[in-house]
Structure 1
Amino acid sequence: MDINYWWVSLALLAMILLISWLIRRNQKDKKVYEKEVMQTEIKPEKHDDEKI
């Protein structure tokens, strides 16, 4: 059985490119998610000192 090294190398290259693309995308999405969370955090309300 002959192994076609061209197809194996092409598949390996495709897997490496896919994994690197997924890692970069995940890091970018993580930064966007953290930014959104920081902006949507509930800030404490300011209370005026009202005397009844």
Structure 2
Amino acid sequence: MPPAVDRESCKQRNAVERCINRLKQWRGLTTRYDKTAAVYLAGLHVARVLLRAAC
């Protein structure tokens, strides 16, 4: 008998994986061209706002 699958957990994991894949499209974030933590964090916030507006 296969192990039980928690559908809600799968939905949440899928949403996180899709978000990470969309963030990977932001080359500056994935390659970490921005050297300072403040600039990197700011880029992450901008990407988050734009991705949230697109969904």
- TM-score past 0.5 threshold: no
- TM-score by length of structure 2 reads 0.42
- TM-score by length of structure 1 reads 0.44
Larger radius of gyration: 1
Q: Which has the higher contact order (CA 8 A, sep 6+)?
A: 2
